[in-house]
Structure 1
Amino acid sequence: MVSSLINANPVVYEKKERRTRSAPGDVDEYAVEPIDQLEIFDHIRDIKDPEHPYTLEELKVVTEDAIEVDDKHSYVRVTFMPTVEHCSMATVIGLCLRVKLMRSLPPRYKVDIRVAPGTHATEAAVNKQLNDKERVAAALENPNIVDMVDECLAASYE
């Protein structure tokens, strides 16, 4: 490990078992199942941490319990917990979560990404950045940031 990491020795947790979904044809092909908490978790659980070779699930940065879904109002909130209070990658992690859900969910969904209260020294600033459309758009115009986000998301598409 590189000694310049903010959290050089993170606690790594075991992954949860994946839920088995209905096979196509098991349900009415025209029925639209509502999106739920577990489906959102399945989209984001395999995102790789920007500093470590572990997923956000393995580091408990994201958990199923920290996801709120209101399918009727097309609203999703993901609250994540950085591994340390001064995590310099919190904004990148939040951006990865936002981009993954933007690419995975129908466009009707409003996605709210938040740092868990009391878990980051600059929580209000990080939350503001992650939920400001103009700041997110500007970040996604930076090729270095896009490369970092794409690298973190690569395993989540396999």
Structure 2
Amino acid sequence: MDSGLSNENPVVYLKKQRRLCTDRSNTDEFSREPINQLEIFDHITDIKDPEYPMQSLEDLRVVTEESVEVDDDKSYVRITFRPTVPHCHLPNLIGVCIYAKLLKSLPARFKVDVRVAPGSHATEASVNKRLGDKERIAAALENPDFMSLFN
């Protein structure tokens, strides 16, 4: 019997204990503390995997604290995620969910870059090209079907 899942038995990992983060999307630009790697990671840990809605991206180690790069001075954040299997059929959706969460929670000054980890997906180059297309990302974020799934 074919369940239609790319990875029928994903490995679920234990989470680290961390502090709770705050939403800084409306932070005053002149009176702010630098945003760090852990704070960015905290914002994306609760995103549910689209294929396994009972598991978060953190539970499946699709994202890890080490996969987050932040340069507060340059207002730049990069997330490099690793799908659970090389033939995952939802890496674009995962990437857009990460974008949506960060754009919703970070100050507008930040440029967000989301990528598939090198060698982690069979169509890595095309996925990264689609995730780098800002017009495509903007269209996805305006799509009511996506936003209902995301919310």
TM-score above 0.5, yes or no: yes
TM-score (norm 2): 0.88
What SS does the corresponding residue of 1:73 show, helix, strand or coil? coil
Letter in 1 for 2:61: K
Find out whether 1:109 has 2:110 as its counterpart. Answer: yes
- 2:60 alignment counterpart: 59
C-alpha separation in 2, matches of 1:88 and 1:147: 20
**Structure 2 portions without partners, runs of 5+:** 22-29
Residue 114 of structure 1 aligns to a residue in which SS?
Answer: strand
**Residues 95 and 20 from structure 1, CA distance in 2 versus in 1: closer, same or farther, beyond 3 angstroms?**
closer
Secondary structure of the corresponding residue to residue 63 of structure 2? coil
Residue identity matched to 1:39:
E
Name the Cα RMSD after superposition: 1.6
Distance 1:35 1:7, change over 3 A: same
> How far, CA to CA, are the matches of 2:105 and 2:142 in structure 1?
20
Unaligned runs of 5+ in 1: 22-29, 151-158
- Deviation of residue 20 (structure 1)? 6.4
Post-superposition offset of 1:49 = 0.4
C-alpha separation in 2, matches of 1:110 and 1:31:
20
CA contact (8 A) 2:100 2:141 kept: no
The question of 1:95 aligning with 2:96 is answered yes
- TM-score, normalised to structure 1, is 0.84
Deviations 1:39-86 (A, max 9, x none): 000000111000111000000000000110000000000000000001
Q: Counterpart of 1:50 in structure 2: which amino acid?
A: P
